[in-house]
Amino acid sequence: MLIVEDYRKLIDEWLLIAVELKYFKKIKKKRWREAYREIGQALRYYVYDFDSTILWYIFEREVDNNTVRACSNVVGEVIKKLKIPIAYFSTKMSDENEGKFLVFKPLELSSLSDIESVVRWMIKYCRDSVRNPPSHDKEIIERRKALKLF
């Protein structure tokens, strides 16, 4: 979970972001369709009143880039076509540089990114593009207060 300042203050002064991280070792082509089944947990975070949810796939180094790209495109297409309100990031650990990632979604980058850059991008993406509609229900506000204590 990420808790960062919400300068827009749609509900309160904090932006609560849930991150559902999925790590993939070698993946066979017939298992690509299983990858989109991982969306469910990310959607459950909206029940807990997070402002945004990120579904982050991390593929190990040994997975071929074409396989990562194909899997990322399938999941990205499902999220886009169904208009599921989650931010989807797909990355692969770099072969050359420890602590660096190749990024495939939401936008494929040609250069490597470090973890700090990816997380900053996630926060900005959630602030600007993917937010749960704000609710001012008393119960939700109390639940948000409890979440911020963790």
Question: Measuring CA to CA, which residue among 100, 36, 94, 35 is closest to residue 63?
Answer: 94
- Domain that residue 9 falls in: 2-149
> Environment class of residue 68 by beta-carbon count within 10 Å: exposed (0-12), middle (13-18) or buried (19+)?
buried
pLDDT of res. 43 = 75
* DSSP secondary structure code for residue 12 in this structure: S
The domain tally of the chain equals 1
pLDDT of res. 116 = 92
Question: How does strand 113-114 pair with strand 100-105?
Answer: antiparallel
Please state the pTM of the whole predicted model.
0.82
Q: What is the mean pLDDT of each run of 10 residues along the chain (150 residues)?
A: 74 80 74 64 76 90 88 88 89 84 92 91 88 71 69
